[in-house]
Structure 1
Amino acid sequence: MQLFYTPDHARVGDVIPYYENGEFKLFYLKNWNPYFGSDKTYGWHLLTTKDLIHYESETAIGILGGTGCIIKVEGLYHLYYCVFEDQPQRQYVCHATSTDLTNWTKYPDETFGPDESIYLLTDWRDPHVIWNEEEKCWWMILCAQNQGNTKRRGCVGLCKSADLHHWTCCEPLYAPQSSMSAYECPDLFYMNGWWYLVFSQFTDRFQTLYRMSRSCNGPWIRPKTDSFDGRAFYAAKTCSDGEHRYIFGWNPTRTQNTWNFDPDPTHEGYDYKTYDWGGSLVPHEIYAREDGTLAVRSNPALKKTLTVSNEIKWIPLNGDWKVDQTSVNVDSPIAYASIISENDVPHQGCLSLDFTFTPGTERFAVVLQADQEFARGYYFYLDPKRQRIEYKSAIRMHEQGGWTFQYDVELERPVELIPNQTYSMEIFVDESVMEVYVNDEVAMSVRAYDLHDRKFGLAVSDGAVKFENVKLTTLGEL
């Protein structure tokens, strides 16, 4: 089984989540791998799940178009999506209805583009519809670009309707004039006294972001940490089951060279290659802190699925490590200390632990797929100086990595790290997918291909760290 769904011979693109009667109906854009064959079915596909791990067989629903939304009104499902034209580039919103989520009636006469006096014609996609109780009408927000004097025109467009069939273009809901890309896959929801506006952008930053406001009309506040994840999580939209809210994005593969931008093809492996469009389905749970800002934690069903505990055995490599049944710690004030497991990293499993560090500690790491010399592996560094978790892949550990990556940081996420406080950390592994969660607040998605069936370990550089409650859980005993 898979912990993070990936279709055979294909990739999960943008997810359009809908929840009803105890089940998530996850519509998504399917991106087929080129070697699959001629019997592929294009367009929207539907996945049904109760726990976001176990899925029923997926089906194609006959909608050929881009991202949109599903709502239900008086027993009738409404589906909004987008279509594209080239030469010149144009984008349009389309409408269809259904009584069973499978057979759809389309309304070609209702297809519409942007108001040219407010918006550019080139971007008009990813419609998301909600009922606005304050204004007693339907709102549609869209990925758009508004008219302006610079190229920084990315915005969240807005249309309004009384009947779901006729729409009036309005001034943008959010137009900060800061991004050259249109704001993709917009989402808008209300929770605990706050309105949250979610969107993704691919210039300046390549992430799914959010803004917050006490009013549906703004002003839209940028929180200190305004993203849910890093580069390897994109085009995410949210959905609630009435108790929990989840954000659904994709962890991209790196095997297809989608953008024809890979480095020298004679290099072996995939870890240094560019990200594709689409990959594996990743749902994070999101929740609001007391100040209204949003935090991210793992899907609770993951822990319920990985139920088998495996005994961990350690081999100290350097440093004066103290080891007992479920904890290890080291005080290494002027050197690098490392310890490696006798256990292999599972193909599906979770490594979890708590950590506490002393003042002045430079940095420390949890490492997966390490070799016996503790050289090449996948390193997750906790960095108190820079208040972040940083990911370095195996290729960064030798000279070829310096040629390939001319920059210092491969992936990073901001994390508040305070000495003498205890934090939790989980790393879920599903073949090439790794999903990391720190303190049930911060998430970082990683795609790692090249190293398998190696060890995991811990490292501390110039400091003292205690790792406690170290657990390795799997689907079956290793």
Structure 2
Amino acid sequence: MKYRNIITIASVFFSLVSCSQDETYIGGSITGGESEITNIYPVPPRLWIGGADEPYYSAGYTGDIMPFFDNGKFHIYFLHDAQNKPAGKGFHDIHEFQSTDLAHFTYEGQMIPYGKTTEADFGVGTGSVVKVGNLYYFYYTGHNGIPEFLQSNARESVLCATSSDLKNWTKKSSFKITAPAGYYNFDFRDPHVFFNEQLNKYSMLVSTQTEPGRKAVILHFTTADPASGNWEVQAPIYTTTPQENYLMMECADIFKMGNYWYLFFSENWSGSKGTHYKMATSINGPWMTPQNDMIDGEYFYAGKTASNGNKRYVFGWGTRKTPETDLGNKDWAGNMVIHELTQNQDGTLGTQAPQAVKDYFTKKTTVEVDGTTGNTTVNASTYSLNSTTDKAIVTFKPIGKRAKIKAKLSLGNTAGSAGFVFHTNNSGSYAKIVFDAAKNAIIGYNSASQETTRIKFQFQTNTKYDVELITEGSMVVLYINGKAALTNRIYGREKYKWGLISEGQNSTVTNLQVTQPE
């Protein structure tokens, strides 16, 4: 992936300082400090960062995201997945983006470094931030699978760092929580901490498994005072059902919106990979599973939320592929993707693009027809595609790196599919995102016609659906009716033609518009 317009705007240094038994790490950058990133789906910029004794290149991908809103600003911490990982070095140190509107970002550099081969956080995992008084606590996962370390230590544990300014973090070397009796210390991660008003205590959710039995659970700990470091284990807040049989429920999050509580987690081993949610009228459950319990498809992972006090957003990463081609294999980490959460009358959740992202695209662009295939009719910005056995396709000229596509799309019958195609080369191969009336799903396919991602959606015939696609580089995120989102990865999209397609379906597209940033 290539990204431009990364502008250095300040100069701060990283330094590593010992302070009794704690380590203090000063965030910043050797060659420039903060960087403005003109990407709505950002990855770390290409800068040299780190301490003066051990700088390294920051180029990489955005992994699990840990958002925290404070004083009018989103502090978007994430696991940094470096492009180049030197042998013997740790991985997934915590870096930060900042934003006030979720369409423009600054890169703040590394916040919490990984540890040494002998330390519990040789690999760093997901966590969360909570403010207690004037101090911020960052609870995160320590991961070390080195055989010598495992001889006398758990593979995963909950660790903690503190800060008074959300930038200079001090690791608390005396703090560690490992899996209590009855739970599996090999998989014990992703602490999510919040103040539980019902208990008048702080709660911590941890993803783990029972031992024996290996059932996925979201374990619950409580403390009256995080400063004490004493957390008491409680009963799990949720255990996977025999029907689900999830292996792990990662990156848990819990919050209240309106009259409902929502429990988020991500699962990557079943037939429905991605970010799931449960809902209840009480923080103690019972937890109900909505008919569509997915926030997005499997190319949006590890979704965790933050609210600015007015709206709540879910932050995840859009999966990259290795090799980085349309037919590459799904890999860990990628670009950050953010959805605004909406709430339906029945309490279920929907998603839409953040308003600032919608407003980012202001320049109208002419939609130029490049060609047609099959039974198609083009009349101004209205396109009719009628297909029984043969495909009906209308293609348009390329629209470049960043563009927003808006349209109203209706389906004429309950069979077949219709949607959008994005060419991946000059020879005519294309990926597609279609509305499948028979499967009641929005489905993404690569250029080999292999399904890559889907989300449930109940379609009705002769109903106009408001569709919005936000594209940036290889990222294509589709929104429909402010109710659902489907994140896709399509390499080459910005260089080649795109269009509309109908297969075994009579579809109509009206009000087709393309806008780009000024």
Q: TM > 0.5 between the two?
A: yes
The count of residues paired between Structure 1 and Structure 2 equals 448
Residue 371 of structure 1, CA deviation:
7.0
Is 1:457 equivalent to 2:499 in the alignment? Answer: yes
Is 1:365 equivalent to 2:419 in the alignment? Answer: yes
One-letter identity of the residue aligned with 1:161: T
SS of match in other structure, 1:303: helix
Residue 446 of structure 1, CA deviation:
1.2
**Residues 1:313 and 1:215: Cα distance change in structure 2 (over 3 Å):** same
Look up the match of 1:79: 138
Is 1:109 equivalent to 2:159 in the alignment? Answer: no
Match 1:58 to one of 68, 86, 108: 108
One-letter identity of the residue aligned with 2:132: V
User: Identity over aligned residues, as a percent?
Assistant: 27
Look up the match of 1:307: 362
One-letter identity of the residue aligned with 2:334: G
8 Å contact kept, 1:361–1:461 = no
Tell me the alpha carbon deviations over residues 8-47 of structure 1, each in whole angstroms, 9 at most, x when there is no partner. 3201111110012221000111010027999999621121
Residue 359 of structure 1, CA deviation:
3.0
Is 1:90 equivalent to 2:155 in the alignment? Answer: yes
**Residues 1:317 and 1:209: Cα distance change in structure 2 (over 3 Å):** same
8 Å contact kept, 1:120–1:147 = yes
CA distance in 1, matches of 2:210, 2:86: 39
Look up the match of 1:376: 429
SS of match in other structure, 1:278: strand
One-letter identity of the residue aligned with 2:477: E
Match 2:223 to one of 137, 155, 161: 161
User: What does 1:17-416 align with in structure 2 at a 5 Å threshold?
Assistant: 17-34=67-84, 43-64=93-114, 65-86=124-145, 87=147, 88=150, 89-116=154-181, 118-149=182-213, 151=214, 153-164=215-226, 165-177=229-241, 178-179=244-245, 181-204=247-270, 205-255=272-322, 270-315=325-370, 317-332=372-387, 335-341=390-396, 343-360=397-414, 362-369=416-423, 375-396=428-449, 409-416=451-458
CA distance in 1, matches of 2:78, 2:389: 51
8 Å contact kept, 2:413–2:437 = no
User: What does 1:466-477 align with in structure 2 at a 5 Å threshold?
Assistant: 466-476=508-518
Residue 386 of structure 1, CA deviation:
1.0
8 Å contact kept, 1:377–1:394 = yes
Comparing 70-79 and 37-46, the one that deviates more: 37-46
Tell me the alpha carbon deviations over residues 263-293 of structure 1, each in whole angstroms, 9 at most, x when there is no partner. xxxxxx6222222221100011112111111
**Residues 1:416 and 1:12: Cα distance change in structure 2 (over 3 Å):** same
One-letter identity of the residue aligned with 1:200: S
CA distance in 2, matches of 1:474, 1:363: 28
Residue 360 of structure 1, CA deviation:
4.4
8 Å contact kept, 2:424–2:491 = no
8 Å contact kept, 2:425–2:492 = no
**Residues 1:370 and 1:275: Cα distance change in structure 2 (over 3 Å):** closer
CA distance in 2, matches of 1:62, 1:371: 41
Residue 295 of structure 1, CA deviation:
0.8
| TM-score in terms of structure 1 length | 0.88
Comparing 191-200 and 106-115, the one that deviates more: 106-115
Structural RMSD (CA): 2.4
Look up the match of 1:12: 62
SS of match in other structure, 1:110: coil
Higher relative contact order (CA 8 A, sep 6+): 1
One-letter identity of the residue aligned with 2:507: V
8 Å contact kept, 1:179–1:203 = no
**Structure 1 residues not aligned, in runs of 5+:** 257-268, 397-404
| TM-score in terms of structure 2 length | 0.81
